Structure 1
């Protein structure tokens, strides 16, 4: 088992996690770049009228892209060496139907792969409803991108952890919770979070309505006194603010 322990197929989840971390770093700066392109394009133009290549966005985007390419290059060298050394255990560079980290060399490994696949199913059935609920909030889109990457990293960490325990002789073939039973807990959590969101949402609506009535009253009083009513719009997290400027 010591030979299998050093098999690239066992290490593959770690390589994938590293790749996902770099992709997350790259995606953050790519999202920031496209936000500037679509919503603040004027920042790309310097005061002289020339294109501004000195923006930090370009530097970070370049660094993240180079890091991603270098990591992929190192992995490709390791990948080629593995396939050359182990022709009977070749990995495909791109695999859409069967991940290379799920091993089926014997019945025990098949059972380990089956168990970890069930755990991953439970992971997704648990966290995806929560991720959907987060979409009710006006959060930055990178929050959702980060959440997706985190789920993927957790998936590959689970695979590596179980495979590593198996090859170290510490794996126990215990019955994992039945999926239906696990889903009961998921739905309970889903209902609790939904109720909390409804409570917060209704409370926020009442708060905004009350604040709007107060604003109207204050505006009328301000104009009756000959002042100028100024209302600063709020966001989801803050209420609109009112001020009254007296005319000279």
Structure 2
């Protein structure tokens, strides 16, 4: 009998000319796989990699200043439609794609290119699993968590496609060893559940600590993550849960 097919979640990261396709294009894609081992634990798998992509337009200086990819670096590179499919839909067939703030990558990685893949957003999952983090950016999580096995130099420079995918893969590995693939996908389908108020007089407070009038104001906020979190807290209170910071017992439940 052939060996069972390896279960892989492929982490990807894109560097682009801007944030709004089709006006902007991809100039680099990086990836790193995380696979389920025979011991039932998820670990990084393979070497990963990166490919430069010709975005079909000039790279603005303000964007170049972030990732340092220049027009001359990608002038002879392949086009996105020639690069994307083999990276986004690899063999052995992956069970999901993952990215930090995956909604950005999903703008460029259409269902046609991904073969309709499910996505895991490690930012949204970090909000759920590690709410005490001082921030939830890829790099803050890297230094706050200090994941076991992460090679510091391999994760540099930041804001390049492979190093960022490599760092994100360590967050994903640890998430998958705490929660199921299905759970991470489910969390990723909804807006982010924010552990603390982002701005205003209650900035920095646990949502359980703020007053009813303040909470009501957030229900119509422009930010979908804020609205979603405010509604979740309102629903919790309607179920009879008390206002105030959660007790240790409540957190366990």
TM-score, reference length from structure 1: 0.25
- Structure (1 or 2) with the greater helix fraction: 1
Which one has a bigger Cα radius of gyration?
A: 1
Relative contact order (alpha carbons < 8 A, sep ≥ 6): 1 or 2 greater?
1
